[in-house]
């Protein structure tokens, strides 16, 4: 397995303040990797640089062995993104949203693809609903459906279970596991739920103040820091200057 | 450029127009109201029998052409704002969509709006005032296309400003076009402007179009110097406005503000 994402000495400065400060890490193909850190650590900035929404000040990002801007079309065609904080147009019906994004990704046999995903994520019953009328759980499933439309090799997920009740959050975690196991998708995701991270992730990357603080499997980090669980490790790292 | 990505955005907006009465009203309401007001005014002026001046022809032609320009500018600005209001900019720009494809899609949305308004106004003005827009013959097409492209360029400029200053600058989407109206010689010839403003008027492609339209409607001849003037000025505006937008886009990506345009 090779690195699907490779970041080297990444720096992002906003008006003299370094939001990301010399970050380097790899994300291996076929793994679920958690990008963790306290608020303001630089997680969102890093994710947005991975998506070419923010331009780095310096450093190198390679995804599928390609770099922005030359490889933009190829990179973005093979990845997808989902976040509860980013809405799909609420004034479109569910199937209209999926048709729009399917076309944007140039998905072949789009209607058949949507049909199969509708069964996979159990969204068929609300395909004709306006998106802003969906419940939080339905919306999460729609977001994940949209995220799988182009059969991505890499999924970037920003707090996919934030603001979900425990039942829906658990179902979402099961779905993510299923996606990863059945489709071999590499997943990089951010979360503040350490229990969830321990359950899902093959590897975690801790960043603080824009720098890599530590990385490893959840079990390795728990052992290394001599703590009860990953939540304690998080608190320890976050409170250490 | 990929057609499937351009058509995706075009269809995304057509879904909205298909069922949104306020959106259809936005396209139809203002042009029809303007046509009615100026149509009745033109009929009144005609009754005054001001020598050698066909008010219905000149004023209604101007109103319809002005709406073409207006629709074109609004279509590109509102298509962009729609993505900001719906917090959808991230979703579309993390797809392989290119900026150029985004703009071509807004151009096509503008064309749809223009056709819709054009048909409604042409029919209404003929039925109510016996004004035949197609009197201009084939000259109509290049003049309308020039207005359409100039409106689109102005829309791109308004979007660049919205990109730079966020939605607090969204008033430009509706009001920006009015800024150029007094200098575009829409309802009066350039010669009616004060001498110092006349060179300013000729910096705008719209001025050449409105002067050209009057020349066709009154003298029955197409003024090619005016047509070429419009094309040349448009080429400059299009190049400058698109370049300006691209610069602003790179600027907000550097500043990390692409997803923080509201407010």
Contact A45 B256 (CB under 8 A): yes
| Chain A residue closest in CA terms to B85 | A89
- pLDDT at position B251 is 94
Please indicate if any CB of chain A lies within 8 Å of the CB of B12: yes
Cα distances from A142 to residues A119, A130, A196, B50, in angstroms, run 12, 12, 21, 65
Tell me the residue range of the domain where B35 lies.
3-255
Whether the predicted pLDDT of A18 surpasses 80: yes
**Mind listing the pLDDT tens digit for each residue in B141-158?**
888 899 999 999 999 999
| Sequence-distant (≥ 6) Cβ neighbours of residue A85 within 8 angstroms | A158, A159, A162
Please indicate if any CB of chain B lies within 8 Å of the CB of A162: no
Tell me whether residue B137 is in a domain.
Answer: yes
Tell me whether residue B239 is in a domain.
Answer: yes
The DSSP secondary-structure symbol of A147 reads: H
More confident residue, B79 or A8: A8
| Chain B residue closest in CA terms to A50 | B94
Minimum-distance CB partner of B8 among A77, A93, A104: A104
Average pLDDT, chain B: 89
Contact A53 B90 (CB under 8 A): yes
Out of A163-177, A193-207, B57-71, B189-203, least confident range: A163-177
| Sequence-distant (≥ 6) Cβ neighbours of residue B119 within 8 angstroms | none
Strands (E), A15-145: 17-28, 32-36, 58-63, 79-82
Coil, strand or helix at A53? coil
Contact B256 A99 (CB under 8 A): no
Contact A118, A127 (CB under 8 A): yes
Whether the predicted pLDDT of B263 surpasses 60: no
Minimum-distance CB partner of B97 among A19, A99, A104: A104
Number of folded domains in chain B?
Answer: 1
Cα distances from B63 to residues A163, B74, B181, in angstroms, run 52, 16, 11
| Chain B residue closest in CA terms to A68 | B96
Top residue of A100, A129, A132 to mutate, by most chain B CBs within 10 Å, is: A100
Question: What average pLDDT score do residues A189-210 get?
Answer: 91
Question: What average pLDDT score do residues B105-131 get?
Answer: 90
**CB crowding B1-22: b at 16 or more within 10 Å, else e:** eeeebbbbbbebbebbbeeeee
The DSSP secondary-structure symbol of A55 reads: -
Residues in B closer than 8 angstroms to A101, CB to CB, are 8, 91, 95
Q: Which has the closest alpha carbon to B11: A140, A52, A110?
A: A110
Contact B12 A92 (CB under 8 A): yes
Whether the predicted pLDDT of B261 surpasses 70: no
Minimum-distance CB partner of A81 among B8, B94, B96: B94
In three state form, how does the secondary structure of A200-225 look?
HCCEEEEEECCEEEEEECHHHHHHHH
- pLDDT at position B47 is 81
Coil, strand or helix at A60? strand
Q: What is the rounded CA–CA span in Å between residue B25 and residue B21? A: 6
Minimal Cα–Cα distance from A172 to chain B, Å? 20
- pLDDT at position B192 is 94
Contact B96 A106 (CB under 8 A): yes
Minimal Cα–Cα distance from A70 to chain B, Å? 12
Which residues numbered 27-86 in B keep a CB inside 8 Å of some CB on A? Answer: 82, 86
- pLDDT at position B155 is 93
Question: What average pLDDT score do residues A45-53 get?
Answer: 95
Question: What average pLDDT score do residues A10-34 get?
Answer: 94
- pLDDT at position A181 is 87
Top residue of A43, A50, A53 to mutate, by most chain B CBs within 10 Å, is: A53
Band (pLDDT 50/70/90 cuts) for residue B18 is confident
Tell me whether residue B117 is in a domain.
Answer: yes
**What is the edge-to-edge ordering of all strands in the sheet holding A58-63?**
A17-28, A3-14, A58-63
Please indicate if any CB of chain B lies within 8 Å of the CB of A72: yes
Question: What average pLDDT score do residues A15-41 get?
Answer: 93
**Mind listing the pLDDT tens digit for each residue in B188-231?**
999 999 999 999 999 999 999 999 988 887 777 888 999 999 99
Question: What average pLDDT score do residues B59-75 get?
Answer: 90
In three state form, how does the secondary structure of chain B look?
CCHHHHHHHHHHHHHHHHHCHHHHHHHHHHHHHHHHHHHHHHHHHHHHCCCCCCHHHHHHHHHHHHHHHHHHHHHHHHHHHHHHHCCCHHHHHCCCCCHHHHHHHHHHHHHHHHHHHHHHHHHHHHHHHCCCHHHHHHHHHHHHHHHHHHHHHHHHHHHHHHHHHHHHHCCHHHHHHHHHHHHCCCCCCHHHCCHHHHHHHCCCHHHHHHHHHHHHHHHCCCCHHHHHHHHHHHHHHHHHHHHHHHHHHHHHHHHCCCCCCCC
Write out the H or E segment, with its range, that includes residue A135.
none
Please indicate if any CB of chain A lies within 8 Å of the CB of B257: no
Whether the predicted pLDDT of B161 surpasses 80: yes
Minimal Cα–Cα distance from B200 to chain A, Å? 39
Q: Which tokens in the block code for residue A38?
A: 């306290």
CB contacts < 8 A (A, B)? 93
Contact B256 A12 (CB under 8 A): yes
Tell me whether residue B263 is in a domain.
Answer: no
Tell me whether residue B262 is in a domain.
Answer: no
Tell me whether residue B92 is in a domain.
Answer: yes
Minimal Cα–Cα distance from A72 to chain B, Å? 7
Please indicate if any CB of chain A lies within 8 Å of the CB of B99: no
- pLDDT at position B131 is 86
More confident residue, B27 or A142: A142
Tell me whether residue B261 is in a domain.
Answer: no
More confident residue, B18 or B185: B185
Please indicate if any CB of chain A lies within 8 Å of the CB of B22: no
Minimal Cα–Cα distance from A220 to chain B, Å? 34
Minimum-distance CB partner of A100 among B11, B90, B254: B11
Question: What average pLDDT score do residues B70-94 get?
Answer: 89
Please indicate if any CB of chain A lies within 8 Å of the CB of B5: yes
Question: What average pLDDT score do residues A92-114 get?
Answer: 96
Ramachandran category for residue B258: left, alpha or beta (phi over 0 → left; psi -120 to 50 → alpha): alpha
Whether the predicted pLDDT of A1 surpasses 80: no
């Amino acid at each position: 397995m090779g690195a699907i994402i490779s970041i080297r000495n990444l720096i992002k400065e906003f008006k003299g303040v370094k939001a990301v400060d010399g970050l380097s890490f790899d994300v291996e193909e076929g793994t679920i990797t958690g990008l963790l850190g306290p608020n303001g650590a630089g997680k969102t900035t890093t994710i947005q640089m991975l998506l070419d929404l923010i331009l780095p000040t310096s450093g190198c990002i390679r995804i599928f062995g390609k770099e922005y801007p030359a490889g933009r079309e190829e990179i973005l065609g093979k990845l997808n993104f989902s976040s509860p904080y980013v809405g799909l147009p609420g004034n479109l019906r569910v199937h209209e949203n999926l048709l729009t994004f399917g076309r944007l990704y140039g998905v072949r046999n789009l209607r058949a693809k949507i049909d199969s995903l509708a069964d996979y994520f159990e969204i068929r019953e609300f395909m004709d609903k306006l998106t802003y009328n969906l419940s939080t759980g339905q919306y999460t499933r729609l977001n994940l459906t949209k995220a799988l439309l182009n059969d991505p090799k890499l999924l970037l997920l920003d707090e996919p279970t934030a603001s979900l009740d425990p039942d829906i959050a658990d179902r979402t975690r099961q779905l993510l596991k299923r996606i990863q196991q059945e489709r071999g998708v590499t997943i990089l995701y951010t979360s503040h739920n350490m229990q969830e991270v321990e359950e899902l992730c093959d590897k975690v990357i801790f960043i603080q103040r824009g720098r890599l603080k530590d990385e490893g499997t959840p079990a390795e980090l728990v052992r290394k820091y001599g703590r009860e669980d990953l939540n304690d490790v998080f608190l320890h790292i976050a409170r250490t200057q | 450029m990929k057609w499937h990505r351009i058509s995706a955005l075009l269809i995304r907006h057509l879904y909205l127009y298909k069922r949104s009465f306020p959106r259809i009203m936005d396209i139809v309401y203002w042009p029809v109201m303007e046509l009615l007001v100026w149509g009745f005014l033109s009929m009144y002026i005609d009754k005054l029998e001001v020598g050698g001046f066909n008010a219905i022809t000149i004023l209604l032609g101007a109103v319809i052409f002005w709406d073409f320009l207006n629709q074109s500018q609004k279509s590109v600005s509102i298509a962009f704002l729609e993505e900001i209001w719906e917090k959808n900019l991230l979703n579309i720009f993390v797809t392989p969509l290119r900026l150029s494809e985004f703009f071509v899609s807004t151009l096509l949305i503008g064309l749809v709006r223009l056709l819709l308004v054009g048909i409604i106004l042409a029919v209404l003005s003929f039925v109510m005032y016996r004004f035949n827009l197609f009197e201009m013959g084939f000259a109509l097409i290049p003049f309308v296309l020039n207005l359409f492209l100039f409106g689109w360029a102005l829309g791109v400029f308004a979007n660049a400003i919205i990109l730079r200053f966020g939605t607090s600058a969204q008033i430009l989407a509706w009001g920006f076009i009015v800024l150029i109206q007094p200098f575009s010689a829409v309802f009066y010839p350039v010669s009616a402007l004060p001498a110092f403003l006349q060179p300013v008027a000729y910096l705008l492609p719209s001025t050449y179009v409105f002067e050209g339209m009057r020349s066709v409607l009154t003298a029955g001849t197409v003024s090619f110097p005016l047509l070429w003037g419009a094309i040349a000025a448009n080429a400059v505006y299009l190049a400058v406005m698109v370049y300006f937008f691209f610069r602003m886009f790179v600027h907000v990506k550097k500043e990390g503000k692409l997803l923080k345009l509201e407010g």
